[in-house]
Amino acid sequence: MGLIKYSRPDSDILSRSFDDLFNEFFSNAPSYKKDGFMPSVDISETENQFELSVELPGMKKEEIKVDLENGRLTISGERKFENKDNGKNYHRVESRFGTFTRTFHLPDSIDEDSIAAKYADGILNITIDKSEDKVKKQIEIA
């Protein structure tokens, strides 16, 4: 079976460095991404709460840390590349690996005690209830 050369569709030859081109053509080692792993996050809001969905494929929940400090929610961890000596010769590794940290400034209208996190099927779901006494209310004019 012959290998077909793959070129990234979202990049052009002028924007890539000479080192990237050289390494891609002559390296047999897996190409570890220089920019590391940065999980995608979707943030939504309902009338009563905020919801965050973080994509963390291939990670175990023990490898993920969620902290709240001074109104900042921080999600961090490390996604590791396991190159077990099982006779495989990698020709291309496009998955991203490395440590990551994502921090979000939360509004004052949250109930810090209500934060809940669940991890299933590579998705970390975090819900944060809004504090009823801090939620913006419209005042009726008499």
Does 50 reside within a domain? Answer: yes
Q: Give the domain CATH number at 86.
A: 2.60.40.790
Side-chain-side CA neighbours of residue 80 (13 Å): 7
Alpha carbon distance 46, 29 (integer Å): 47
pLDDT confidence bin for 31, thresholds 50/70/90: very low
Question: What tens digit of pLDDT does each residue of 91-117 get?
Answer: 887 778 889 999 999 988 899 999 999
**Domain around 48:** 37-129
pTM beyond 0.75: no
Residue 18 lies in a domain: no
* Overall number of domains in the chain: 1
With a pLDDT cut of 90, the percent of the chain lying above it is 39
State the DSSP code for 106: P
Q: What is the pLDDT of residue 101?
A: 94
- Give me the phi and psi of 67, to 5 degrees please: -130, 150
- Token pair 């921080």 is at which residue? 74
